[in-house]
Amino acid sequence: MRPVPAVAAVLALGLVVALLGFAGRSLVATETTAGAPPPAAPAAPPRSAPPQPAVPMAAPRAAMARAVAPEIVAPPPLDPAELQRAEPRQPLSDLALALPPRPVPPDKWKGTLLHRPVALASARFEAMGRTVAVAGIDGVEPDETCSWEGNPWPCGVRARAAFSAWLRGRSLSCAMPPENDRHLVVASCRLGTQDVGSWL
């Protein structure tokens, strides 16, 4: 290593150290001057406090509010005797109020719901362990055959398939007699608002 650059590097390093030391001293002096507390103002002469009006006594409360789940929720630092139960507020608008129930029309259909009906014939089905024949309809049995232009065809099976496709397992509402057993019952039924007998 050449001696001239080495001497220059040592001198530059010493200059940097000297500048850092000087900058540190000036920062400490500035912080000390800025952190000094301002001179205290002369104390004002004490004035006598004006007399406070007497606090009216609160009316006794009928019942104290109970603490809710004190073992789970930390109670606030309040005296339970100071807590008071407030009345619930009124609704913000009439939109939050429940509407009155709609009047029931006099011809409202009241029937027994029979779920998952299975067509047994063109006018007879089984649902929930009951066999129901649609009132006012002469059904076609599945084993009956009909002829058209001299050709026989299974009209009973076709009628049952059409009835089953129309039902599609949807619940029927039937006017069941109050005392009925699990045998064949003749009743008028509806699917929604459509009368089953009218469809057949």
Q: pLDDT by residue (tens digit) across 129-169?
A: 888 889 888 888 888 888 888 888 888 899 999 999 999 88
Write down the pLDDT at residue 111: 80
- Check residue 192 and give its pLDDT: 85
User: What is the model's pLDDT at position 137?
Assistant: 85
Report the pLDDT value the prediction gives residue 120, as an integer from 0 to 100.
92
pLDDT of residue 161: 92
Residue 119, in any domain of the structure: yes
| Whole-number Cα distances in Å, 190 to 13, 112, 113, 151 | 104, 10, 10, 35
For residue 131, give its domain range: 112-199
Collect all residues with Cβ–Cβ distance below 8 Å to 198 and sequence separation of at least 6.
Answer: none
Q: How far apart are CA 7 and CA 29, in angstroms?
A: 34
Number of domains in the chain: 1
Residue 89 falls within a domain, yes or no? Answer: no
Residue 179: inside a domain: yes
Low-confidence spans in the chain with pLDDT less than 70: 1-2, 24-65, 67, 75-76, 96, 104-109, 179-182
Please check whether residue 169 is in contact with residue 128, taking contact to mean a CB–CB distance below 8 angstroms: no
3-state secondary structure of 151: strand
pTM of the model: 0.44
**pLDDT score at 40:** 54
Q: Are 189 and 126 in contact (CB under 8 A)?
A: no
* CA separation for the pair 197, 133 (Å, rounded): 10
